[in-house]
Amino acid sequence: MDTTILTLPGSYYKEELFQNHLHFQFLNFFIMEKIKNASPIRPVVSQVKNNTVSWIGHLQNDPMDHFAGQTFICPVDGTMNSIQVYSSVVQRPGDIVLTLHEFDDVTKTWKSSFAQSSITINKTDESKWLSFSLPHSLLIKDRSYGFRLHSAGAMIGIGEFVRGSSDPCSFGQEWNANSHNMEGVFFSWFSLAFKVEMVA
């Protein structure tokens, strides 16, 4: 069997490089225009009051891990930027991990996480907002989501707001769990101090 090898003239390669250059220039222009015309980053769901704390992590002499989280209904279509929580007390410095999930309101079930962020905090982070960067994750209007916080080595008190029993949260529920009860419990009259910031 005879095999014919076709060679392409140099002008073809030049044309191909030129077309690729134009394509790159167009994509770059398109991206820059999207950034220039993008909506500003803003909190779309927030609860900034706190009158007590919810603990995450564990003390050095306590083998039980404590977890905290918050569910919320997204009010707009948009792209995540960050989630902030309020650090009231840093009992023991260390790393905190935040995972973002879709959440089933009916069955009270966390779905697999689709975004994650971690930060390292120390004693100087007391009474400050802690920001977890979560860029590029798409959230859809009217869907339920939630974030969970845990720490393998730290012990941090996250700001929490306790409401009266006649005034449940309209946007979601607080979640608390520990290593002896990983399913945890949900509270309508408690809420973490948090901000969900999006480009929307």
pLDDT at 109: 95
What confidence category does residue 8 fall into, taking pLDDT thresholds of 50, 70 and 90? very low
Q: Tell me the pLDDT tens digit for each residue of 97-110.
A: 999 999 999 999 99
CATH number of 41-199: 2.60.120
- In tens, the pLDDT along 128-186 reads 999 999 998 999 999 999 999 999 889 999 999 998 777 778 889 999 999 999 999 99
- Cα gap 15→21, rounded to integer Å: 10
φ, ψ dihedrals at 22, nearest 5°: -65, -40
- Parse the chain into domains and list their residue ranges: 8-37, 41-199
Q: Give pLDDT, residue 31.
A: 43
Dump the DSSP string for 31-61: HHHHHHHPPPEEEEEEE---SEEEEEE--TT
**Is pLDDT of 28 > 60?**
no
Quote the pTM value. Answer: 0.79
Q: Is the pLDDT of residue 86 over 60?
A: yes
> Where is pLDDT greater, at 62 or 170?
170
Q: How many angstroms separate the Cα of 162 from the Cα of each of 127, 152, 173, 189?
A: 18, 26, 11, 6
